[in-house]
Amino acid sequence: MSKRVAIAGAGIGGLCSALALAKRGFKVSVFEQAAEIKEVGAGLQLSPNAMQVLNALDISALLQSKAFCPQQAVMRHYQHGKPYFSVPLGKTCEQRYGATYWHIHRADLQQALYQACSDNKVDIQLDSQILTYQQSVEQVSLQLANQQAFECDILIGADGIHSKVQATLLANLSLTSTAKFTGQVAWRGTVKTKDLPPNLVEPNANLWVGPGKHFVCYYLRGGEEINFVAVEERSDWKQESWSQQGDVTQLRDLFKDWHPQVQEILAAAKQCFIWALFDRDPLSTWVDGNVALLGDACHPMLPFLAQGAAMAIEDAYVLAAMLNKHSESQTALKHYQDARLPRTAQIQFNARQNARLYHMKTSLERAKLGILAGLSTSGLSDWLAANKLDYIYDYKAVELTQELD
């Protein structure tokens, strides 16, 4: 008899894990507190390490018409725009890492995963939140927000940085972990490409870095929209909601002395959203018996390596492979943790370090950027940057777990 898995959260990580498990014959139920799966969030960067998992899950074909394949990742000076480095993506990326690099709207990816889960008979219960759990040796009992209960063999907490499952898991293990405000807030939004001058935005992952701020933009939905994310250091904002309205006039003023491309994009923005960036130190354990955490519930990522969604996608595939290989659930979950915790902790740390570099926090970081600028004409900074990304992009969760299946 196949095991029954309950998953808290129908975000990218929760739906990916549901699909990966359902394809291996597990009975999967997903509990999502939102009343509907609707367009929320903005753009995502899906690097090759994430794409090779989506390829294996047969999701890529559903997304291709809505994706955009950038040609390069370019970091520039915030005012004059001179490149610090440029990393080739597109066909070069596919040849180097075995998978492409896509930009996608979060809602498009979530809808594709939702449809694939439905097609694979995943039970998705909306307007239903897991509050806490209790467990015996072989069974997990869930308490839902609607006062109902649910029994399963395995519980996966994919319910975000303020995870209810995580709270119970840590309490059971007498551990503590606090989500800490980083002193940075992110503004996000999209602009219709037709509302901008032709070819204003290059077909790249574009990044401008400056004192205390940075700005990212790239195409979505086959080039019909441009996604932007602007991050500033600020101590007076702690709302961590993706749907909190921001003041677009204030945002424009924050970047009024930045590169003309940045200013034109913001001038075309009709609305924006703002949220606080929170962080947690890496957890020492993600597992409590037959319960495990996934994605932001165990390793929230600051957006300075564009790996938040990718890490959750990797988690999902490795988790499903481990549960498929090991008949004893607790053994499988421990192997999952052992496989994933060191990698995600390293990327968490490096994302934090990038925050210092992007915002020119210290004289050392300013010196590093100066060196990169000096090397850019020779192409050496491009080579250095590309090689520093190999450990992220060349990770192949599918190949690493094939022997388990």
The secondary structure element, H or E, covering residue 364 is: helix 363-376
SS3 content of the chain, % helix, strand, coil (to 5): 40, 25, 35
Q: What is the pTM of this model?
A: 0.94
**Closest Cα to residue 348, out of 387, 284, 397, 304?**
304
Confidence of residue 380 (pLDDT cuts 50, 70, 90): low
- Distances from the Cα of 54 to the Cα of 40, 50, 113, 299, 327, angstroms: 20, 6, 10, 20, 25
Could you tell me if residue 6 is left (phi over 0), alpha (psi between -120 and 50 degrees) or otherwise beta? beta
Q: Which of 38-42, 160-164, 248-252, 360-364 has the lowest mean pLDDT?
A: 38-42
Amino acid sitting at position 33: Q
Mean pLDDT confidence for 255-284: 93
pLDDT of residue 371: 72
Q: What is the DSSP string of 182-216?
A: EEEEEEEEEEEGGGS-TT-S-SSEEEEEETTEEEE
pLDDT of residue 376: 66
pLDDT of residue 245: 84
Domains of the chain, earliest start first: 4-178+280-401 (3.50.50.60)
Separation CA 238–CA 234 (nearest Å): 9
pLDDT of residue 377: 65
pLDDT of residue 41: 65
Q: Which of 233-247, 252-266, 286-300, 332-346 has the lowest mean pLDDT?
A: 233-247
> 255: helix, coil or strand?
coil
Question: Between residues 384 and 206, which one has the greater pLDDT?
Answer: 206
Q: Tokens 């992007």 identify what position?
A: 358
Which token pair is 273?
A: 């959203």
Which token pair is 295?
A: 């994605």
Alpha helices, DSSP H, located in 174-326 = 248-254, 260-268, 308-325
Q: What is the DSSP string of 111-172?
A: HHHHHHHHHTT-EEESS--EEEEEE-SS-EEEEETTS-EEEESEEEE-S-TT-HHHHHHHHH
> 180: helix, coil or strand?
strand
- Distances from the Cα of 149 to the Cα of 72, 141, 244, angstroms: 49, 7, 32
Spatial neighbors of 44 by CB under 8 A, at least 6 apart, are: 12, 103, 104, 105, 106, 109, 309
Q: Tokens 């498990």 identify what position?
A: 21
Mean pLDDT confidence for 275-280: 87
List, for residues 218-261, the tens digit of each pLDDT value.
999 999 999 999 999 987 765 555 557 889 999 999 999 999 99
Mean pLDDT confidence for 114-134: 96
Mean pLDDT confidence for 39-55: 90
Q: Tokens 């491009």 identify what position?
A: 382
Question: Between residues 386 and 81, which one has the greater pLDDT?
Answer: 81
List, for residues 52-101, the tens digit of each pLDDT value.
999 999 999 999 999 999 999 999 999 999 998 899 999 999 999 999 99
List, for residues 165-222, the tens digit of each pLDDT value.
999 999 999 999 888 888 899 999 999 999 999 999 999 999 999 999 999 999 999 9
Mean residue pLDDT across the chain: 91
pLDDT of residue 308: 95
Is the Cβ–Cβ distance between 185 and 53 less than 8 Å? no
The secondary structure element, H or E, covering residue 219 is: strand 213-220
**Closest Cα to residue 187, out of 287, 273, 103?**
273
